[in-house]
Amino acid sequence: MNYEKLVKLLNDLAQEFLVMESSELDIPTAGKFLNQLEEILAQARALKVDPIKGCVSTLSSILERIIMDTIQDKAAAISMLEDGIYLMQSIADSHKKTGTYDGSIQEFMDKVISLVGPVQNAVTEAASPQEDARARTDAQDPATRDEEKIEIQDEALTRDFITEGLEYIEEIEINILNLENDPENKDYINAIFRPFHSIKGVASFLNLEKIRSLSHDLESLLDRARNGEISVTSSLIDVVLDGADALKTMIRQLRDVLEGKASTTTDLDIPALIARVKKIEEGFDVDAGAKKIGEILVDDGVISEEKLNQVLSEKEAGMSSKKLGEALIGEKIVKPKQVSQALRKQVDRVADMATIRVDTVKLDDLIDMVGELVITQSMISQGMKNQQNVDKRLTRDISQFFRITSALQRISTSLRMIPIRQTFQRMSRLVRDLAKNAGKQVSVELVGEDTEVDRNMIDEIYNPLVHMIRNSVDHGLEMPEERIKAGKPERGLITLKAYHRGGNIVIEIADDGRGLDRRKILDKAFRVGLAHSDEGLSDQEIYKMIFMPGLSTAGKVTDVSGRGVGMDVVKRAVEKLRGKIEIESAVGEGTRFITRFPLTLAIIDGMIVKSGPEHYILPTISILQALRPPRDAYNSVVGKGETINAMGRLMPLIRLYDMFGLEPEFKDPWEAIVVVVDSERGARCLMVDKIIGKAEVVVKSLGEGLKNIKGLAGGAILGDGRVGLIVDTEGLFELAEQR
C-alpha cells in the first residue's frame, strides 16, 4: 500500500502544530487542525489503519471542546494533542515499514477520556465503505446537499446552537458594517472570522453539513483577507452579508424542525453563493463594472429599463434636481442599500483603472509559456553553433530576439514577486510573543523588507523561518541577568535581513546570544548515535548536525523546543524549495542562519553534465568546485569506500553512472570529471564523464510515475532537444549511503 500521502498529511499537521504563534490554541487554529484531521481520517480509512482512526476521533474531541470552550486545562489539552500527533506519526511509520502496528493506543485514549470525558461514538466508529462513498458523493454534489433532511443529533445542544448561532449572526452583521468603514482594520476581520468559525465547529459536531460547509467557505475567505492575500472590497462585504443571511435562514429552518413546525420553503441558492465566495477568494471582483448607476441597477434587475428612462427624462426636463440615486429612493423605486451597492461598483471600477486583478492560473500559464520560449531560444542558439556559415543579418536579428526573450523572462517572473515585508512583520510579532513567554527582552531589527520574493514561495518559506526564530529566542538568546553578567545589553537583538544575490533570495536570521556550543553538539550526537568521531569534521559540518532528527541540545523541554524536532523540518522545507542553509556562530557572540532560495521555482540555474549517454543538471547553488583529480588523489579504504582528496580534505566519491545503472565513458576518476557538491551530510565528490556547460533551464515535472524517484527533482528540455534530468543532490547522497 502507498502510505506516502498519509505520512505527508501527518508531517504537515506536526509542522503546523510546531509553528503555532502562541502556546494557547485559539478557535481559528483549532478549526484548521480539525480540517486537517478530516483529511487524515479519510486517508486512514482508505488504507485501513484503524489505530489512526481512533487517534483522530480523540484529537477531534479535544479540538471540538476547545472550540465550544468546555475544557478547563488548555495547557494539558495542547500537550495531549502533541502526544497524539506524534503517536499517529509512529503508527504511520510502522505501517509504512511493516504493514502493521504492534503497539496500543488505549493508554493514550484513557488519558484523553480522563481530560475531556467519553469520546463521541459517532466520531470514534469508522464508517463502512458504502457510507464513506455516500458521504463523499454528498459532499461533492451541491444538489444532494441542498436536498438533505435535517436530522437532530442532540436536542439540548441543538437548542443552544440555534440561540448562539443567531447571536453570532447579529455579531457578524454589526462588525461587517464596521469593516466596510475601515477595511484595513484586522480586528474587525477577526471579529467576523470567529463567529463563522464557532458556527462551523458546532455544526460539524452536530452533522449539519450545509451550515458547516458554507461557514467553512466564508471562514476561508476571511482568513485570506486577514492574512493580506486578498483585499477587503465591497464584493467581499456583500458576499459575507449574503452568507450571513443564508446561515440565518438555515438556522431558523433548524429551529422550525426542532419545534415540529413545517419548515419555510426558501430559494437559497447555496452553490451559487459558494461559487461567488470562491471567485472573490481567487481575486476576482465579481461585481465590478464600467457602467453608470442606472445601468448597474438595470443589470441587477432592481429596476426596469423603461422606469430608468422615465426618471432620466424627468431629470432632463428639469422636473427634478436630485441625483439619480436620490430620485429613485425618493420615489421608493429602489432601496438605499441597492443604490449604495451600485455606487460601490462604480468606485471599484475607478480603482481598477490603475491596477487589474489577474487569475494566478493565467499568470502561471504565462510563466510556463515564457519558459517554453526560453527553451526555444536555447535550441536556436544550439543550432547556430552547429552552422558554419550564418548570415550576419540573421545573426543580428537572432541576437535581438535573445535580448527580448531575456527581458520578457525577467518581466514575467517579476509579475509574481511580492515584498517580503509582511512575512517579516509576522516574524517580528512572533518574536515579541515568544520573548514574553520566555521572560526575555528582545528587540527586532528588520533589513531589506522591500526585497521581493516569488508569491508561490512566500508561504513555503514561512514555516522554516519560524523554526529558526523559535530557536534563536529559546536557545540563542540568554536571560537578561545572564546577558548582564556577560557584559551584554539586557535586551537581546534578533536581526532579519533579506537581499538578492547571484540570482537567489538570501534571508538571514541572526541573534547576539550565546552561540552554538561545538562540544555540546558533538556530545549529544555521540549519545544518540548520529556521529562516532569528530575527526576531520569542520565547524560547519558540526553545526549542521542540529538539522538531524532527534538532536536537541536544549537543557529542558519547553513549549517552544527541546524535543529534537523542528530543525530537521527546517532542513526538509528548505531542500524542498531547492534552497541551502549555512550557519555562522561564535561562542558568546551569537549565531547567524543564512538561507538561500532561488528567485523562482519555475527556472533553475544549473550545470549540465554527461554521464554515459545521459545528460543531467546539477543545481549550481550546491556546486563548490569541479576538477579532474590526479591519480594520487584517489583512495579506496576497506569498509569506508572510495574517497577523493579535494579542497584539502578527503571526501566520499559517488559515481553518478553507478547510481542510475549507466555504462560510463570513463571508470577511473583521474580520467573523468569530479564535481564537489555541498550537502547537509557534508561535501561529496560526484563523478561524471564531462561538463557540457551552464544554463538556465525550465523545471518540468516528471509526472506521477516518476515523481517519487529518489535522487531526481524534475526534468528540463535542453537546447539540443534532449531531456535532462535535474539531480536532487540530497536525495542522491542519501541513496548512496543506503547502498
> Based on the domain organization, do 446 and 510 belong to the same domain?
yes
> Is residue 134 in some structural domain?
no
> Is residue 633 in some structural domain?
yes
> Based on the domain organization, do 9 and 56 belong to the same domain?
yes
**Of 50-54, 414-418, 425-429, 500-504, which range is least confident?**
500-504
690, 716, 688, 689: which is closest to 702 by C-alpha?
716
Whether the predicted pLDDT of 675 surpasses 90:
yes
Q: Domain limits at 532?
A: 418-598
- What residue spans of 360-454 are helical by DSSP H? 360-385, 392-414, 421-438
> Based on the domain organization, do 633 and 710 belong to the same domain?
yes
What average pLDDT does range 577-589 have in this prediction? 85
**Of 146-150, 178-182, 340-344, 465-469, which range is least confident?**
146-150
Report pLDDT for 325: 65
Whether the predicted pLDDT of 674 surpasses 90:
yes
Report pLDDT for 495: 92
Report pLDDT for 686: 92
Residue range 506-528, pLDDT digits in tens: 899 999 998 888 888 888 777 77
> Is residue 492 in some structural domain?
yes
Report pLDDT for 704: 66
> Is residue 39 in some structural domain?
yes
> Residue 737 CB: number of other CB atoms within 10 A?
12
Residue-averaged pLDDT of the chain = 76
CATH number, domain containing residue 712: 2.40.50.180
Helix (H, G, I), strand (E, B) or coil at 594: strand
CATH number, domain containing residue 62: 1.20.120
Q: Which residue has the higher pLDDT, 659 or 128?
A: 659
Cell numbers linked to 600: 523562482
Report pLDDT for 146: 40
> Based on the domain organization, do 339 and 433 belong to the same domain?
no
How many domains, the chain? 6
> Based on the domain organization, do 469 and 541 belong to the same domain?
yes
Report pLDDT for 494: 92
> Is residue 476 in some structural domain?
yes
Instruction: Single out the residue in 577, 598, 619 at which a domain terminates.
Output: 598
710, 693, 721: which is closest to 617 by C-alpha?
693
> Is residue 135 in some structural domain?
no
> Based on the domain organization, do 41 and 119 belong to the same domain?
yes
Dihedral of the CA atoms 237, 242, 244, 250 (nearest 10)?
-170
Burial (Cβ within 10 Å: 0-12, 13-18, ≥19) of residue 90: middle
**Is 720:379 a contact under the CB 8 Å cutoff?**
yes
Report pLDDT for 378: 74
596, 587, 567, 580: which is closest to 476 by C-alpha?
587
Whether the predicted pLDDT of 305 surpasses 70:
yes
Cell numbers linked to 471: 530557536
> Based on the domain organization, do 341 and 376 belong to the same domain?
no
CATH number, domain containing residue 220: 1.20.120.160
Q: Which residue has the higher pLDDT, 203 or 635?
A: 635
**Is 724:693 a contact under the CB 8 Å cutoff?**
no
pLDDT-based confidence at 351, cuts 50/70/90?
very low
**Is 311:324 a contact under the CB 8 Å cutoff?**
yes
Query: Who's near 436: CB < 8 A, 6+ residues apart?
Result: none
> Based on the domain organization, do 157 and 85 belong to the same domain?
no
- Write down the pTM of the prediction: 0.45
Whether the predicted pLDDT of 132 surpasses 50:
no
pLDDT-based confidence at 147, cuts 50/70/90?
very low
Whether the predicted pLDDT of 336 surpasses 50:
yes
> Based on the domain organization, do 407 and 342 belong to the same domain?
no
Query: Who's near 71: CB < 8 A, 6+ residues apart?
Result: 62, 65, 77, 115, 116
> Is residue 140 in some structural domain?
no
What average pLDDT does range 224-252 have in this prediction? 84
Report pLDDT for 342: 65
Whether the predicted pLDDT of 727 surpasses 80:
yes
Report pLDDT for 373: 82
Whether the predicted pLDDT of 275 surpasses 50:
yes
Instruction: Single out the residue in 231, 260, 281 at which a domain terminates.
Output: 281
Q: Give me the amino acid identity at 146.
A: D
Report pLDDT for 353: 41
Query: Who's near 655: CB < 8 A, 6+ residues apart?
Result: 664, 687
> Based on the domain organization, do 431 and 572 belong to the same domain?
yes
What average pLDDT does range 195-223 have in this prediction? 84
Compute the distance between CA of residue 62 and CA of residue 72 in angstroms, rounded to an integer. 11
What average pLDDT does range 149-163 have in this prediction? 74
Cell numbers linked to 318: 428639469
Helix (H, G, I), strand (E, B) or coil at 357: coil
What average pLDDT does range 593-597 have in this prediction? 87
What average pLDDT does range 106-135 have in this prediction? 55
> Based on the domain organization, do 663 and 576 belong to the same domain?
no
Report pLDDT for 650: 85
Give 3-state DSSP helix, strand, coil % of the chain, rounded to 5: 55, 15, 30
Whether the predicted pLDDT of 24 surpasses 70:
no
> Residue 324 CB: number of other CB atoms within 10 A?
19
Burial (Cβ within 10 Å: 0-12, 13-18, ≥19) of residue 661: exposed
List the 690-698 sheet strands across, edge first. Answer: 690-698, 603-611, 614-619, 723-727, 712-717
Instruction: Single out the residue in 281, 309, 339 at which a domain terminates.
Output: 281
What average pLDDT does range 538-564 have in this prediction? 60
Residue range 89-116, pLDDT digits in tens: 889 888 887 888 888 888 888 888 877 7
- Going by the DSSP 8-state scheme, the letter that residue 390 receives in this structure is -
> Based on the domain organization, do 255 and 340 belong to the same domain?
no
> Is residue 80 in some structural domain?
yes
Whether the predicted pLDDT of 705 surpasses 60:
yes
Report pLDDT for 149: 56
What average pLDDT does range 636-648 have in this prediction? 82
Helix (H, G, I), strand (E, B) or coil at 202: helix
Residue range 34-75, pLDDT digits in tens: 778 888 888 888 888 888 888 888 888 787 777 666 677 777
